[in-house]
Structure 1
């Protein structure tokens, strides 16, 4: 079973938007037994789409096109399909009523051009779009299918989950002989190369399955891909690989799939009935922002202080003037006093702090750009750790906030804090 994706739109090619549709489709199709073999992006050029349709017709059983179904002159997907399959358009009056209702419900006079969205190829089927005016198109040809969907993610995603994938599984039921399954393991606090060294011989861990390393400034995602004859066998393979990985890198694993570190920490705090506070300097509120992005964070997050200036470090957090004069704002001593100060100010169970030189200016030979001290304080102990995160300001802020949260996670779970 070979599957191809075609994303249509000049806006993707020129970098005006990110092609998140392809990532969504790749994940959904893989887990449904239709791994993507080819993924192409083309501009709003009818001849180019016709060439891609010809390639699909020769080499692929499933082709899914996103984009180019709107009502304007640069929406070329529908005209190209009509031309390639030597078809003609007809009005689908159910779609036309739907389009009219959308405009009337918003108290907007429908432009005449939108009538064209109810035109579909005669030898096709409508894929219903409950969230927009552009219906999807399904064309069958000799046990091959061509599917065109709107490029708006909000419209396309439910069409895939509710209509397209169930159709594909049923239509190709006799040919789906393998089960494809994947699981993503989230790690942080360790680089890709070091993680690879800890894992050792990957083949001993995964056998005939696949393991991908996906690094970012906040950590490394490990994606396990397995193929099996049944779902039970696929789940067993994933469980075995995950067990072996946990034996080797368990301390660095903080979650799975779409989880994020702030949500994981929130669960730990909630389960242990603990409260948290944050004092930030170089991260400028990034940590607090991440924490409060989690629904229900008010159960454990008391609050924070963004003390960028020395004056606020002293007046709000109680950092001693002598500490700042002797050791400087970017120091272990200041980080500790910031963490202790915010914990006492809020009466929280645990607190974290950051102070550093985010860059690109402000560094010295002794304290270069990228130097960050991260502090932690609870009712039993206070400490700070030193890091060098490089000379990119945004990456420094990302890495500092991620590392601070990871230090907190390890502290809460009594995992040795080594980086």
Structure 2
């Protein structure tokens, strides 16, 4: 089985947007057993797409095209498909009604140009797009398939997960010679080299499978790839490798696959019916933003205070003026008082705080750029820890927010704080 992704758009080629669609589709196809052999980005040029379609029909079983399905003159995908397959456009009344309903539900008069989105190639099968005005299109060529879907990320994701992956599995179920599966373990609090050292000789326990280390500013993802004669065979291989990995670095693993740290923490707080508050200075609301991005966070997140000014720290968090004058805003003492202050004011079970020098300026010899104090407070204990992250502002904010949440996770699960 050979698969190919074609991403269309001048905006991708010139770097105005990042091609996250191809990354998402590639991961989902791989997880479903359709590893991608080629990904190509092309501009809004008919002839280039015609050349790629010719390549697809000659060399690939599956081709997924994203982008270029809108109603404007620069949306070339649909007319180019019509030309390539010597086809014609016809109105799909169900799609037309859907497009009209989307505009009417938003109290917007539908522009005439959007009527064109109900025009579909007669040789294609419509893939229903409940979230937008452009339907997906499928050309079934017996042993091969070409699918075009919108480039709008949330529309694309829904179509891939709920329409296209099931469709591909059904069509190609008899062509599987091998099954490829992967699972990702998410870690934070330790770097790639340290994790590798803790795991020891990886080759001794992965066999013919693969283990990839994928580092980022906030942690390292460990992706296990396994090949099997069946789904259960591949799953057994992954499970055996995962068991060994967890036995060596369990404390650093906070989730798997699509988890994120704020979701994992939310799950714990919700299950235990506990509450959280946050006091932020150098992270500027980043922690609160991550927490409230989780659906249902209102059940456990009471609120946060984002404050830079020392005067406002005194007013809003009850920080002692003497603490600030003696130790400074970036200090263990201030981080502790921030955590205690917000917890007492908001009457929560737990609180975390951040105060530091995000950079690139403001550092001194004693308190350099990248120094961050993170405070924690509960009914049982209160403390603060210091970290020196680096000199790049946004990375410092990302790392500080991740470390604060990881301290909270470890305290919730009674895991030793080792960083």
TM-score scaled by length of structure 2: 0.90
- 1:331 matches 2:331: yes
Of 108-117 and 222-231, deviating more is: 108-117
| Pairs within 5 Å for 1:61-140 | 61-85=61-85, 87-94=86-93, 97-98=96-97, 101-102=100-101, 105=104, 113-140=113-140
Q: Does 1:375 align with 2:385?
A: no
Contact 2:82 2:89 in 1 (8 A): no
Provide closer, same or farther for how the CA distance between residues 91 and 388 of structure 1 changes in structure 2, counting only shifts above 3 A.
Answer: same
2: CA distance between counterparts of 1:112 and 1:156? 24
Query: C-alpha separation between the residues in 1 aligned to 2:406 and 2:70?
Result: 45
Provide the rounded CA distance (Å) in 2 between the counterparts of 1:141 and 1:94. 25
Contact 1:31–1:180 (CA<8 Å) still a contact in 2? Answer: yes
User: Which structure 1 residue ranges, 5 or more long, are not aligned?
Assistant: none
* Map 1:160-239 → 2, pairs under 5 A: 160-239=160-239
Deviates more, 1:2-11 or 1:15-24: 15-24
Aligned to 1:305: 305
Question: Hey, what's the Cα distance between the residues in 2 that align with 1:124 and 1:301?
Answer: 48
Q: Cα 1:8–1:381, aligned 2, differ >3 Å: closer, same or farther?
A: same
The 2-side partners of 1:386 and 1:179 are apart by 46
Contact 2:349 2:379 in 1 (8 A): yes
Aligned length: 418
Native 8 Å contact 2:224 2:238 kept in 1: yes
CA offset digits 1:191-217 (Å, max 9, x no partner): 222222222222223222222222222
Look up the SS of the partner of 2:358 in the other structure: coil
CA distance in 1, matches of 2:113, 2:415: 62
Matches within 5 A, 1:238-253: 238-253=238-253
What is the deviation of 1:144? 1.7
CA distance in 2: counterparts of 1:76 and 1:220, whole angstroms: 39
The Cα offsets for residues 167-195 of structure 1, whole Å up to 9 and x where unpaired, read as 32232222123222222211111122222
**C-alpha displacement at 1:261, in angstroms?**
1.5
1:330 aligned counterpart, secondary structure: coil
Deviation at 1:407, TM superposition (A): 1.1
SS at match of 2:73: coil
The Cα shift of 1:148 comes to: 1.9
The worse-fitting range, judged by mean Cα deviation, of 165-174 and 97-106 is 97-106
Partner of 2:357: 357
Instruction: Give me the CA root mean square deviation.
Output: 2.5
Contact 2:102 2:133 (8 Å CA) reproduced: no
Give yes or no for the alignment of 1:286 onto 2:323: no
Give 1:99 deviation, angstroms. 6.2
Aligned residue for 1:151?
Answer: 151
Measured after TM superposition, the shift of residue 349 of structure 1 is: 3.0
Secondary structure in structure 1 of the residue aligned to 2:317: coil
Partners of 2:31 and 2:319 in 1: CA distance: 53
Q: Are 1:127 and 1:135, in contact at CA under 8 Å, matched by a contact in 2?
A: yes
SS of aligned partner of 1:326:
helix
> 1:361·1:369 contact (CA, 8 Å) conserved in 2?
yes
- Distance in 2 (CA, whole Å) between partners of 1:311 and 1:53 is 64
User: For 2:19 and 2:195, how far apart are their aligned partners in 1?
Assistant: 29
Deviation string 1:257-288 (CA, Å, 9 cap, x unpaired) is 22221222223233344333322221222223
Contact 1:98 1:133 in 2 (8 A): no
